[in-house]
A = this chain, B = another copy of it.
Amino acid sequence: MERRKPGKAAKPTIADVAALAGVSVSAVSKVVNDRGGISAPTRKRVLDAAAKLRWSPSATAVALRGARTRAIGMVAGRSTDVLATDPHFTLLISGIERELAPADFGLLLHIVGEEPGAEERAYRRLAEERRVDGVILTESRIGDPRFELLRQLRLPAVLVGEPWREDPVASVGAEDQEAGLRDAVRHLLEWGHRRIAYVSGPEDRVHTVYRRRVFRSALAERGLRPWRVLVSDFSAQDAVAATRELLAADAAERPTAILFANDTMAVAGMNAARRLGFDVPGELSVLGHDDLPLGELVFPQLTTVAQDVEALGRAAAVEMFRLLDLPHSPPPAIRPPTLIPRESTGPVADGS
């Protein structure tokens, strides 16, 4: 019965199962794939044999057979540093996995540096070697070359977040992606702030541009304009520099509140301000974006805008299944970004 040398119990194959169950391989195949045409007793014998042998179909063979690889790819083109400070990526992955795992899909991850071309090479390899059925992307950029590349490679793609205008790509995002930032601006206005500065992300990011627009329009509703807008690269150092620059002005010219593009920057900026002797929120209100756990740990706790990142991940996976014509769960509801008022924002000081 054992075709293998004893002591060298190699991986069982469908043929071993068929032999043990006393049926043909196709019978086994039909059973595991729930094609009809199998009698109940046969079915049971096959299932028993498979269980006893601890066999499940080889993903490789199934993939080769022409079906799917049952793996989704993801490429992170970021420096380790940013990756380490910002759990955005981890949360996203965690959400994606939540959907992939039950469907027995894997997530193939590539973390490449920021060297030019590294990301493109990673996608090419994924496609040419046919390792994945599709890829999930984040952080769309203006004039993002990845969509065209993936179209050429015929790799199904889903973008998390907003595409640039008419970028031809499937994407997932909250219904009202702008809600949180708009609320944040109103929150500051209600507290009497009129000189509000914004430290935005890199210019080439789509969401940078979109958010800046929201910032302006939320202020415009009250007839105001951004006090100052600085562009940063998301790093803590940049946030510190920006904060110093903003606070270097005379009292009458200083912003009374600063909005940062993300929580890491907000925390860095907040501490820079405090080292400069400014009380937060007494003399300066600080607002972040993303609601990292970090925000609750610092003192004062950070007022921020929460994003439902995990739901975004799940939605992306569901959308991918839809693209691949696979059965999938209903798309999850994605909470719109929401203001989380905490301690780093407060009423504008008397003198200001």
Q: Which of A71, A94, A130 has the most CB of B within 10 A?
A: A94
Complex contacts, A125 vs chain B, CB 8 Å: 56, 104
A310–B80 CB distance below 8 A: yes
A61 within 8 A of B: yes
- State A129–B61 Cα separation when bound (angstroms): 9
A107 contact from B108, B130, B267, B298, Cβ within 8 A: B108
A224 within 8 A of B: no
B293–A84 CB distance below 8 A: yes
B236–A297 CB distance below 8 A: yes
Complex contacts, A249 vs chain B, CB 8 Å: none
Complex contacts, A94 vs chain B, CB 8 Å: 80, 83-84, 111
Complex contacts, A57 vs chain B, CB 8 Å: 129
B84–A91 CB distance below 8 A: yes
B87–A84 CB distance below 8 A: yes
The A228-256 residues at the B interface (CB cut-off 8 A) are 236
Chain A residues within CB distance 8 Å of chain B = 11, 54-61, 63-64, 69, 71, 80-81, 83-85, 87, 89-91, 93-94, 97-98, 101, 104, 106-112, 122, 124-125, 128-131, 154, 236, 264, 267-268, 271, 274-275, 292-294, 296-299, 310
